Amino acid sequence: MRHLIISIGILAICFSQNQLLAQKKKAANKKDLNYKISFYLPNIPDSVLYIANYYGEHTYLRDTIRPLNNKNPYTFVFQGMDTIKRGVYILVSQDNSKYMEFLIDSSLFFNVIAENIDPEKPNLSNNLKFENSPENTIFHQYTNYAMSLQGSGASVNKKMREEMSKSTPDQELVESYRSQLKTVYDSMQSYTRRFIQENPTNLFAKAQKLSQDIEIPDEKPEGYPDTNWQHMYYYTHYWDNCDFTDNALVYTPVFHHRLTQYYDKVIHPSIDSLIKYSDVLIDKSKNTPELYKYIVWYLSNRFERSSYIGHDAIFVHLIRNYYQKGLCPWVDETVLEHMIGKADMLEPILIGKKAPWLIMPDVNGKFHTNYDFNHVEFTIMYFWDTDCGHCKQQTPKMLEFYNRAKDSLSFDIFAICLTSDSIKWRNYLLDKNLPWLNVGNNKANIDFREAYDIKASPRFYILNRDKKIIVKNIDFDHIEEFLTKYRKGEIKF
């Protein structure tokens, strides 16, 4: 698991230490508390420690703990009357480095005892004893075994690389090292499988199970196609190792990683596939509030921010089918209104939709529309600005492309200038002698900046003969390749 760096100054804003101290004063005895974890850490140099927890890909400060009293300078107590989430927690030193990880699972009252600590280089991982917490005992037995094997593997790997770096390496020795590395790997895999099998309800075992890759059978199962069946098997069984009934998985570092890998490397990137399997995933978690909330939030955030063409359709789908239907009660009304408003703005300009009708004047005051181009297969709508440096660099390349390929690729350009300075616009056109249709002067039948979501320039929309949007926000350097492949039927969304 990862090294933790916490900005105490920022996080302290988010958590009221006074409130936590008040809770501790009220909690005079065990019956008043919902949890109490005592740490006995002799010889550590810290006068204050921090408790953090995982949530998704991040870690968050949970509490600040100090020595119990002057008579017990090495005893720190993490306790409270509030409800604590099951998950993986972190004990953090006062210099923001990770001392140890521990589980909050079935045991809420337990002791952690560290032995043989070197005050110069305190290392708690190999010197821990847990009282009244069997789940933490086996958790640290596992991590200590894994660290031991990792050390053995690193030593063998170093020797192998040293041998391989020689001008005439001993191939038998190299193969021997490879065999030793495989033995280490197989030992870890075998130990992990046994650990998972023997501890089915342990949160760490569930997290380990989730992190295990799906094993693909040697023989093709019934019902799978003859070609590419391995990939289909992999993505249809990808979530087999996930316990979708356990909210606590989102409070481990594993779930977010698994979720990200699913969307980065597993699902087919077509819009239809992404929508379909997102709905399937959300449905799996619908009865597990914390998992459901995290998945829906993750997906809406991912696809709202995505720079990939067409991903805004997935964002709109999520808003319409989950947020707008009242299925996301954690979102406050102001945020919800903003999200619905953004979906309302994006929906008319999704790929496959007919482009909003735009009527604007040229420099002579004659009005034109983006629907005028019936003589070509494609209309390239180009939003630009006279003061845009990137637009200025692009213009010569566009001119060369236009003169060379407009007939062979059957396109024309409808250029919309964003500047309100009509003189600057006119002079620019006269200076460059651009052959395509240029409109502007900020006079239009609609608020085109809002209708086409224009927040910067340059921006491109490409329409087909029916004036449906086939691509948008594409880089100019990719337009020729896109049109060529689209005409051949090689591009589908």
pLDDT at 38 over 70: yes
- 414/398 Cα distance (integer angstroms): 13
Strands, E, within 275-361: which ranges? 359-361
Which tens digits make up the pLDDT trace of 95-117? 998 999 999 999 999 999 987 77
Percent of the chain with pLDDT over 70: 92
Binned at pLDDT 50, 70 and 90, residue 445 comes out as very high
pLDDT at 245 over 60: yes
| Lookup result for tokens 């968050």 | 60
Query: How confident is the model at residue 27, as a pLDDT?
Result: 45
Query: How confident is the model at residue 123, as a pLDDT?
Result: 66
| Lookup result for tokens 């919800």 | 336
Which tens digits make up the pLDDT trace of 162-194? 989 999 999 999 999 999 999 999 999 999 999
The topology (CATH level 3) of 8-132 is: Immunoglobulin-like (2.60.40)
Binned at pLDDT 50, 70 and 90, residue 23 comes out as very low
- 46/402 Cα distance (integer angstroms): 69
- Average per-residue pLDDT for the chain: 91
pLDDT at 396 over 80: yes
pTM above 0.95, yes or no: no
Q: Answer yes or no: are the C-beta atoms of 446 and 370 closer than 8 Å.
A: no
Query: How confident is the model at residue 10, as a pLDDT?
Result: 33
Give backbone dihedrals phi and psi of 445, rounded to 5 degrees, phi first. Answer: -75, -15
Are the folds of 8-132 and 359-487 the same? no
Question: Is the peptide bond between 458 and the residue preceding it cis, with omega within 30 degrees of 0?
Answer: yes
Query: How confident is the model at residue 493, as a pLDDT?
Result: 63
The residues spanned by each domain of the chain are 8-132, 141-211, 229-349, 359-487
The pair of three-digit structure tokens given for residue 244, joined into one six-digit string: 């979708």
Buried b (16+ CB within 10 A) or exposed e, 155-165: ebeeebeeeee
**Mean of pLDDT values over 118-125:** 67
The closest of 321, 322, 315 to 342, measured between CA atoms, is 315
Between 28 and 148, residue with greater pLDDT: 148
CA dist 248 to 5, 159, 251, 351, 354, Å?
23, 41, 5, 38, 45
- 244/172 Cα distance (integer angstroms): 48
Amino acid occupying residue 374: N
Task: Find the length of the chain.
Answer: 493
Buried b (16+ CB within 10 A) or exposed e, 277-299: bbeebbebbeebebbbbbbbebb
Q: Does domain 359-487 bear CATH number 3.40.30.10? A: yes
pLDDT at 150 over 80: yes
pLDDT at 56 over 90: yes
Buried b (16+ CB within 10 A) or exposed e, 8-42: eeebeeeeeeeebeebbeebeeeeebebbbbbbbe
If one counts every other C-beta atom within 10 angstroms of the C-beta of residue 138, the result is 18
- 196/193 Cα distance (integer angstroms): 5
The DSSP call for residue 192 is: H
pLDDT at 297 over 90: yes
The closest of 43, 46, 23 to 35, measured between CA atoms, is 23
pLDDT at 15 over 90: no
Binned at pLDDT 50, 70 and 90, residue 45 comes out as confident
Which tens digits make up the pLDDT trace of 453-467? 999 999 999 999 999
Query: How confident is the model at residue 13, as a pLDDT?
Result: 32
